[in-house]
Structures are given as C-alpha cells and as structure tokens.
Amino acid sequence: MNDNKIVFFDLDGTLCPNNDLKVNVEMIELLKTFPKRGILSVIASGRSFYETKPLLETLELDAIQNMI
C-alpha cells in the first residue's frame, strides 16, 4: 500500500481568509511540518502564477496548480 499523501489548498477564503495573500503564522508553522510527515502540499488557485509564487516560497510548499 502507498502511504503518500497530497493536500491541495485554495487561497482566497481558505489559506488567506481576507483574500489578501496573507497566511497566519500558526498555519505557516503547520504547513512547514507536512514534508516531515510525508505530505505533499499544493496551492490550487485561480490566481496567476506570478501572484502566488512569493507565497509558495514563503510557505515552502511543493507546487502551485493555477486553475485558470
């Protein structure tokens, strides 16, 4: 059995409750524990790659899937 896990996050209203591309510190710390637990983290957003790239780097996530 494969134990790999992947989690997709929306930004606006989910990771960024105020739609301002700002994530609270507690969520950032939680997301940074995912790689140690074997969880791949991906942002799924309608925002452009250039808008979301700085957030990807800040959160140290694995990928962004832009849904345009």
The whole-angstrom separation of Cα 59 and Cα 22 is 10
Q: What is the layout of strands, in order, in the sheet containing 63-66? A: 5-9, 39-45, 63-66
Look at residue 21 in the predicted model and tell me its pLDDT.
85
Q: How many CA atoms lie within 13 A of 67 on its CB side?
A: 10
Average pLDDT in the chain: 81
The whole-angstrom separation of Cα 19 and Cα 11 is 7
pTM of the model: 0.71
Question: And the tokens for 14?
Answer: 């989910």
pLDDT digit string, tens, across residues 11-67: 888 888 888 888 889 988 998 888 888 888 888 888 888 888 888 788 877 655 555
39 contacts 60 by C-beta, under 8 angstroms: no
